[in-house]
A = this chain, B = another copy of it.
Amino acid sequence: MYIILVYDMGEKRVGKMLKLCRKYLNWIQNSVFEGELSDVKLLELKSKATKLMDKEVDSLIIFVSRQERWLEKEILGKERASTDIFL
């Protein structure tokens, strides 16, 4: 499954979420990740992410496309190289 993940975290927790998401997906922009994940790995990521979050404040949205080819991607402006880290 192809995943797009976006989060909006409290400042104290954003570093940990960035670190966690990088283990599963590719960082593409400030608080935005994408990549291929199995069902099992997605469940694992969600469970770990939920433990990191303050559910009253933090927000995480996951879009799942069964096939990467069903999803076209276009970048306008500067492509954030995956080595650039912006918290």
Interface of A toward B, CB cutoff 8 Å: 4, 6-8, 28-32, 46, 49-50, 53-67, 70-80, 86
Could you tell me if A63 and B53 are in contact, using CB atoms closer than 8 angstroms?
Answer: no
How many copies of this kind of chain does the complex include?
2
Could you tell me if A65 and B64 are in contact, using CB atoms closer than 8 angstroms?
Answer: no
Could you tell me if B76 and A62 are in contact, using CB atoms closer than 8 angstroms?
Answer: yes
A50 to B49, CA, bound (A): 34
Could you tell me if B63 and A75 are in contact, using CB atoms closer than 8 angstroms?
Answer: no
A7 to B77, CA, bound (A): 10
A67 to B66, CA, bound (A): 12
Could you tell me if A61 and B73 are in contact, using CB atoms closer than 8 angstroms?
Answer: yes
Across the A-B interface, the 3 shortest Cβ-Cβ residue pairs: A60-B76, A64-B72, A8-B30
